[in-house]
Chains A and B, each alone.
Chain A
């Protein structure tokens, strides 16, 4: 039979002057400080000699009387007891009786500190016995803050303290000697959990002079991975996860509105916020679900962080890669073998939502390899406005760090998968909007968000990988392509460049269906650009079940007899709905008359939304009234932008040669459905060319074009921006385009 009780010896009792003085509120600036120090020094040795430390641990079970909702009867526990004996305390009482209050108070505090000093050995022995039994400690319970006082009597009886050490207990369940301490440790089979220390955060003795609020520890579990992180004061759970480099989809920017940053608390407790109550059912709250953005832990927590992983995003922006990675690895190996190691170059598009990186071998046309990933800054909001806000609110460095880390990781992944040594990467060209370039460069964003929206720098930027990406692991030249204005950035210049606007005489229109909804019209003579702030709806943002283009995202919808048939990316079980799915759903709902021309959803579905599909765990993916409204706003912005820009350019829509539809969303979009909901005008039918990621294509072209710099600067020079928000025509078009016009369906 295994040993049940472990008497503890080898205590090393200390009395620390600093802690004792803290207990009695004696500070160096006190006029009586010296007097107290003298007294302390006089009695210190005597008090140490009076300490008679004893202690014991005993394995046992939680009795019925101490059962709680969390811990049931018979839960395995360890009872623990330590005492410093009665000697020091007796001196204290004696001194008070003699009217030597200073000594009385000091002795009492010294007894407390001596007892505290026994904790170290207690924990040591506790660790040993737990290791031997392969158990861990889930919780430390102490009376009266965690458990009723009667627990002390139960422990006293169980550990036979009277027989063993002559310890008494009062009818109020106080141990005698009074300078004794008793705990019940709840055991767990998880050996790695060891929360045995006193938790001042939970202690009811708020005025305790020894109160020392330890940092809150959060253990994040994701799949089989588990990591424990210390919470910084005032930080939300989301802040912590971000700081640790986890990606969280939070299109609202952590404002408790989008409901996408939920985590499940497995151990510990955090009071649900108002937002939690709005998003979760009572059962879900009870199961520990919380929105991480609104969760401010005050307790050590174990959280499961196993959200639909949007980092697996599928960006359908490129044609099937001509070569597989195996192929290109062979090429690289060949090149190395003949001693003329090839140089490589990378083109990068930093989108507000996604990042795409493409590897090229110098002198070859086709890309070697491509990786796409989520822009980790998305946690700070889905659109550039929220990113600018975050930067201005003091997150500038954090945002820069996130994008730099994303790019370095992306490049490492790119080259790792293509089996190219990082040393061989010689040049990196980045195309992105103005906000993204400011965040990457660490420029202040203050002026981007307020009139007259002046950028710090939209010129072509050159630097080393160390200067721009903050990484010494690479040694490549980095170029950031020039932009036109704060709202029409280098990604659009790159798109114009890729679409041949610098050569064409014919008037073309480029529409980037991203969050910012930038567009440009013109030819080699003159270009007019604008940005429509369409919002994140086309990328699944602000949509109840919206998601990025990840496997399982609904991308196509047909509705017949009020029943939806959907297909998903990679035909996985539905997880949500991506941008193309959103447009399709709306267009089908309008076609079936389930959404009227004003955008009102049929009353049968008004409250709960129209069901599209079921998730793996049986939840219904619905399209709600609010989602319809989001799309109305977004599509109206695009349409009004097209109309206004065309009119300002002084041309009719029929005269536009080619309409380039850029963006991940644009690639898979069914043009008929876009016309059906009024996002694109009828005139564009048969003239639309979905070109995917034109920004990335522009960056790639720049890699190979010796005249790239002058062409791009030329494009920027002939481009002019118009502001739409104050344009009366835009506003009129915007209102008109909000409806779903029946004749167009």
Chain B
């Protein structure tokens, strides 16, 4: 019974049906199913299925967005229960677009997928100073620092963030991930980041796997 309703939540979420998702989440809670289970097995897993389809070009951005909106509707209901139960997120991520760069769509999609992967996401916005990345990560005890840059003129600022981490001697505490149109795997090597991913879903998957490996 429990499995059936969670399966249904996942399916409605994949179709982007926010109202149905909300209703079923409430029902599930009423049935006494654990909020964490509803979140992980219903909402997040459903969202990761959509993310996977997006990565394989089976669906486009709108389907993902609508699903994510439905996910958020469900999460909003679960949140008080999760807080009350003292549930920990799967990890914490600080993300932003680097100094000098105002592009945000790619970064926003990564933030969205990270949330779907169970991360608590601290989105610093655009044109973010290197120090701000470091301070926020230290403050919240982040696992992941994610940076976006869409211009060759702003890519070097990813290096500045890593330099700032090194200067503070905290580089090893974080999984540093980078992305954006001009960014490449070799650029990642060059600046000493940990991961480069080409799309939002991959970013979330890689972040999740890296955090799990680190915590294990």
Interfacial residues, chain A to chain B (CB-CB below 8 A): 24-27, 30-33, 35-36, 92-93, 96-97, 99-102, 104-105, 108, 144, 149-150, 170-174, 176, 178
Name the distance in Å between B82's Cβ and chain A's nearest Cβ.
15
* Residue pair B63, A108 in contact (C-beta under 8 Å): no
**Partner-binding segment picked from B1-9, B30-38, B146-154, B186-194:** B146-154
Q: A99-B72, A144-B151 are in contact. Are A174 and B62 (CB under 8 A)?
A: no
* Residue pair A30, B157 in contact (C-beta under 8 Å): no
* Residue pair B101, A32 in contact (C-beta under 8 Å): no
Once the chains are docked, how many angstroms separate the CA of A173 from the CA of B101? Answer: 8
* Residue pair A108, B99 in contact (C-beta under 8 Å): no
Once the chains are docked, how many angstroms separate the CA of A32 from the CA of B123? Answer: 27
* Residue pair A172, B99 in contact (C-beta under 8 Å): yes
* Residue pair A170, B60 in contact (C-beta under 8 Å): no
Chain A residue nearest in CB terms to B14: A31
Once the chains are docked, how many angstroms separate the CA of A101 from the CA of B50? Answer: 14
Once the chains are docked, how many angstroms separate the CA of A170 from the CA of B97? Answer: 12
Majority DSSP secondary structure for residues of A touching B = loop
Once the chains are docked, how many angstroms separate the CA of A27 from the CA of B59? Answer: 10
- Contacting residues, chain B, for A27 (C-beta < 8 A): 60
Q: Which of B59, B61, B109, B151 is A172 in contact with, Cβ under 8 Å?
A: B151
The reply on B65 being an interface residue by CB < 8 A is yes
Q: A26-B62, A172-B154 are in contact. Are A102 and B102 (CB under 8 A)?
A: no
Name the distance in Å between A180's Cβ and chain B's nearest Cβ.
10
Name the distance in Å between B63's Cβ and chain A's nearest Cβ.
5
* Residue pair A170, B101 in contact (C-beta under 8 Å): yes
Once the chains are docked, how many angstroms separate the CA of A26 from the CA of B59? Answer: 10
- Contacting residues, chain B, for A105 (C-beta < 8 A): 61-62, 65, 105
- Contacting residues, chain A, for B105 (C-beta < 8 A): 105, 108
Once the chains are docked, how many angstroms separate the CA of A101 from the CA of B47? Answer: 13
- What sequence of 0s and 1s flags, for each residue 71-113 of chain B, a beta carbon within 8 Å of any chain A beta carbon? 0100100000000000000000000000111111100110110
Q: A149-B151, A149-B153, A172-B154 are in contact. Are A32 and B102 (CB under 8 A)?
A: no
Q: Which of B60, B72, B112, B151 is A30 in contact with, Cβ under 8 Å?
A: B60
* Residue pair A30, B101 in contact (C-beta under 8 Å): no
* Residue pair B151, A102 in contact (C-beta under 8 Å): no
Q: Which of A24, A35, A104 is B16 in contact with, Cβ under 8 Å?
A: A35
Name, among A24, A26, A96, the residue most crowded by chain B CB atoms within 10 Å (CB to CB).
Answer: A96
Interfacial residues, chain B to chain A (CB-CB below 8 A): 15-16, 59-66, 68-69, 72, 75, 99-105, 108-109, 111-112, 123, 125-127, 151-154, 157
Chain A residue nearest in CB terms to B151: A172
Q: A102-B69, A172-B153 are in contact. Are A31 and B111 (CB under 8 A)?
A: no
Name, among A100, A172, A178, the residue most crowded by chain B CB atoms within 10 Å (CB to CB).
Answer: A172
Once the chains are docked, how many angstroms separate the CA of A31 from the CA of B17? Answer: 11
- Contacting residues, chain A, for B61 (C-beta < 8 A): 24-26, 105
Chain A residue nearest in CB terms to B75: A99
* Residue pair B108, A96 in contact (C-beta under 8 Å): yes
Q: A101-B69, A144-B151, A149-B151 are in contact. Are A30 and B63 (CB under 8 A)?
A: yes
Name, among A97, A104, A150, the residue most crowded by chain B CB atoms within 10 Å (CB to CB).
Answer: A104
Name the distance in Å between B150's Cβ and chain A's nearest Cβ.
9
Once the chains are docked, how many angstroms separate the CA of A170 from the CA of B127? Answer: 8
* Residue pair B62, A25 in contact (C-beta under 8 Å): yes
Chain A residue nearest in CB terms to B98: A172
Name the distance in Å between A27's Cβ and chain B's nearest Cβ.
7
* Residue pair A172, B123 in contact (C-beta under 8 Å): no
Q: Which of A26, A171, A178 is B60 in contact with, Cβ under 8 Å?
A: A26
* Residue pair A24, B62 in contact (C-beta under 8 Å): yes
* Residue pair A178, B102 in contact (C-beta under 8 Å): yes
Name the distance in Å between B148's Cβ and chain A's nearest Cβ.
12
* Residue pair A35, B66 in contact (C-beta under 8 Å): yes
Given contacts A24-B60, A105-B105, A172-B101, 19 further A-B contacts (CB under 8 A): A27-B60, A30-B60, A32-B15, A32-B62, A35-B16, A35-B66, A93-B125, A96-B111, A101-B72, A101-B112, A102-B65, A144-B152, A170-B101, A172-B151, A172-B153, A173-B151, A174-B154, A176-B127, A178-B102
* Residue pair A99, B157 in contact (C-beta under 8 Å): no
- Contacting residues, chain A, for B126 (C-beta < 8 A): 178
- Contacting residues, chain A, for B104 (C-beta < 8 A): 92-93, 96, 178
- Contacting residues, chain B, for A173 (C-beta < 8 A): 100, 151, 153
* Residue pair A176, B102 in contact (C-beta under 8 Å): yes
Return the 3 tightest CB-CB contacts between A and B, nearest first: A172-B100, A172-B154, A25-B60
Provide 30 A-B residue pairs closer than 8 Å at the C-beta atoms, listed in order of the A residue: A24-B60, A25-B60, A25-B61, A25-B62, A26-B60, A31-B15, A31-B16, A32-B66, A35-B16, A92-B104, A93-B104, A93-B108, A96-B112, A99-B68, A99-B69, A100-B72, A102-B66, A105-B105, A108-B105, A149-B153, A150-B153, A170-B127, A171-B99, A172-B99, A172-B151, A172-B157, A173-B151, A174-B100, A174-B101, A176-B127
- Contacting residues, chain B, for A24 (C-beta < 8 A): 60-62
- Contacting residues, chain A, for B153 (C-beta < 8 A): 144, 149-150, 172-173
Name the distance in Å between A398's Cβ and chain B's nearest Cβ.
40
Q: Which of A26, A30, A101, A171 is B108 in contact with, Cβ under 8 Å?
A: A101
Name the distance in Å between A309's Cβ and chain B's nearest Cβ.
50
Name the distance in Å between A666's Cβ and chain B's nearest Cβ.
68
- Contacting residues, chain A, for B109 (C-beta < 8 A): 101
* Residue pair B65, A101 in contact (C-beta under 8 Å): yes
Chain B residue nearest in CB terms to A108: B105
Once the chains are docked, how many angstroms separate the CA of A294 from the CA of B154? Answer: 41
Once the chains are docked, how many angstroms separate the CA of A559 from the CA of B104? Answer: 79
* Residue pair B63, A31 in contact (C-beta under 8 Å): yes
Name the distance in Å between A95's Cβ and chain B's nearest Cβ.
9
Name the distance in Å between B92's Cβ and chain A's nearest Cβ.
17
Chain B residue nearest in CB terms to A109: B105
Name, among A31, A32, A144, the residue most crowded by chain B CB atoms within 10 Å (CB to CB).
Answer: A32
Chain A residue nearest in CB terms to B108: A96
- Contacting residues, chain A, for B157 (C-beta < 8 A): 172
* Residue pair B63, A174 in contact (C-beta under 8 Å): no
Name, among B65, B123, B127, the residue most crowded by chain A CB atoms within 10 Å (CB to CB).
Answer: B65
* Residue pair B100, A171 in contact (C-beta under 8 Å): yes
- Contacting residues, chain B, for A31 (C-beta < 8 A): 15-16, 63
Q: A96-B111, A174-B101 are in contact. Are A32 and B63 (CB under 8 A)?
A: yes
